[in-house]
Amino acid sequence: MRRLRAREPLRRLVRETRLEPSQLILPLFVCPGEGVRREIAAMPGNCQLSVDELVKECAEASRLGLGGVILFGIPESKDERASGAYAEDGIVQRAVRAIKRELPELVVITDVCNCEYTSHGHCGKVVGGDVDNDSTLEWLAATAVSHARAGADIVAPSDMMDGRVAAIRRALDAAGFTQTPILSYAAKYASVFYGPFREAAESAPRFGDRRSYQMDPPNAREAMREIELDIEEGADVIMVKPALPYLDIIRMARERFDVPLAAYQVSGEFSMIVAAARNGWIDGERAMMETLVAIRRAGADLILTYFAKDAARLLA
Ligand code: PBG
């Protein structure tokens, strides 16, 4: 077995899994203001960016040959009805228009969810202490249509309401956006690894948690049902999230479904590697590449990762 491991050119020749910048999607946080570049303490190197700064970051993503960016919004104000999520001049809608003006070719994906826009931080309309499923679908559909109208290339619902893909597909089609694909966060677990993101997006729930809508981590078969339903409802791309603790789910989904498969290496996965590297306990660059290749090897076609720019630079 060692003959083909002897030298890097030989190893490269027989390498089974490849990683390319075009497979990586960079998550970005857009906030109000001008010239704002506020670093997120728990996610070193990642910032809340005002629209002007965001466009610069997107130009860099484009130069590096990334597959695209996914946008999360921090609105001016939050309310019970998440009105900032579906406002025609909402923060994400403004950001998409600005990016598309400067960089029409860059693939812009928008996260469709309510948690950044509700005063209570939950992903939908709270009725009687819990998130009501069907009334939340109306907000999500309106948000997706407003993102498409602003020029988003792909909409990505992350709320985990039942029936949201069908509701969004119907609304997009009715508004004339029959060509806008849906990337569904199909198997999204109620994970502790979203912690740093909630600081970044200012979206931690004020009471309770998300376990009544996000998946229970011990369940694998249930993830297959979630994915199957989303594909039936019209999802064009499916996602498993988080990535590294759920490689088995990525592999199962790859073997079972033939639609493009994305995986989200989430904030906590990123921050753990960066923290260990800063302590000198691990080689951060190698940990980054090894985890990204592991996610690809498990079967993901696309990876959403805060390492997208660093990995692309290393691959260049
Ligand atoms: C919104 C959303 C979350 C993430 C992506 N979209 C947070 C959550 O569900 O609480 C997490 C991403 C990350 O941790 O990097 N619902």
> pLDDT, tens digit, for every residue of 16-65?
999 999 999 999 999 999 999 999 999 999 999 999 999 999 999 999 99
Three-point CA angle 21, 27, 28, nearest 5°: 125
Q: What pairing do the DSSP bridges indicate for beta strands 130-132 and 108-112?
A: unpaired
CA dihedral 134→150→301→216, nearest 10 degrees, is -30
Extract the tokens encoding 31: 């906030």
Q: For residue 159, give the CATH number of its domain.
A: 3.20.20.70
Two structure tokens written together for 149: 């109208």
Task: Give residues with Cβ within 8 angstroms of 167, minimum separation 6.
Answer: 137, 138, 140, 141
Sign of the four-CA dihedral 312, 269, 298, 164: negative
The protein residue whose alpha carbon is closest to atom 10 in ligand 1 is 194
Summarised one tens digit per residue, pLDDT across range 151-203 is 999 999 999 999 999 999 999 999 999 999 999 999 999 999 999 999 999 99
* CB of 226 closer than 8 Å to CB of 215: yes
With respect to residue 301, please indicate whether it lies within any of the assigned structural domains.
yes
Q: Decide if 13 is inside a domain.
A: no
Q: Would 41 be classed as within a structural domain?
A: yes
C-beta separation of 165 from 235 below 8 A: yes
Supply the range of the domain harboring residue 310: 18-315
Tokens 């997706």 identify what position?
A: 144
The reported pLDDT for the residue numbered 133 is: 97
Residues with CB under 6 A from ligand 1: 111, 113, 115, 123, 158, 194, 197-198, 210, 266-267
Q: pLDDT band at 14, cuts 50/70/90?
A: very high
**Confidence category of residue 258, pLDDT binned at 50, 70, 90:** very high
Residue whose pair of structure tokens reads 């002007």 in the numeric block: 52
Judged by DSSP in three states, 35 sits in coil
Nearest Cα residue to 111 out of 26, 179, 40: 26
Annotation marks residue 309 as catalytic: no
Task: Looking at the CA of residue 204, tell me the nearest atom of ligand 1.
Answer: 10
Ligand 1 atom with minimal separation from the 304 CA:
15
Instruction: Give residue 75 CA to ligand 1 midpoint distance, Å.
Output: 16
CA of 20 to the centre of ligand 1 (A): 24
Q: Is 214 inside a domain boundary?
A: yes
Q: Is residue 308 part of a domain?
A: yes
Q: What phi and psi values does residue 240 have, to the nearest 5 degrees?
A: -110, 140
Beta bridge partners of 125: 132
287 falls within a domain: yes
Helix (H, G, I), strand (E, B) or coil at 105: coil
- Amino acid at the residue 195: G
DSSP 8-state secondary structure symbol assigned to residue 308: H
pLDDT band at residue 274, thresholds of 50, 70 and 90? very high
Whether 188 sits among the annotated catalytic residues: the reply is yes
60 domain residue, yes or no: yes
In ligand 1, the atom with minimum distance to the C-alpha of 72 is: 6
Whether pTM exceeds 0.95: yes
What is the model's pLDDT at position 95? 98
Q: How far is CA 248 from CA 27, 212, 278, 302, in A?
A: 24, 23, 29, 16
Asked if the structure places residue 47 within a domain, the reply is yes
Q: What is the Cα–Cα distance from 268 to 257, expressed in whole angstroms?
A: 27
The predicted-structure confidence for 113-156, as pLDDT tens digits, reads as follows: 999 999 999 999 999 999 999 999 999 999 999 999 999 999 99
Instruction: Round the average pLDDT of the chain to a whole number and report it.
Output: 97
- pLDDT value for 313: 98
Instruction: Count how many domains the chain has.
Output: 1
Contact present, 109 and 68 (Cβ < 8 Å): yes
How far away, in angstroms, is 285 Cα from ligand 1 center?
A: 24
Q: How many whole angstroms separate alpha carbon 122 and alpha carbon 213?
A: 10
pLDDT at 78: 96
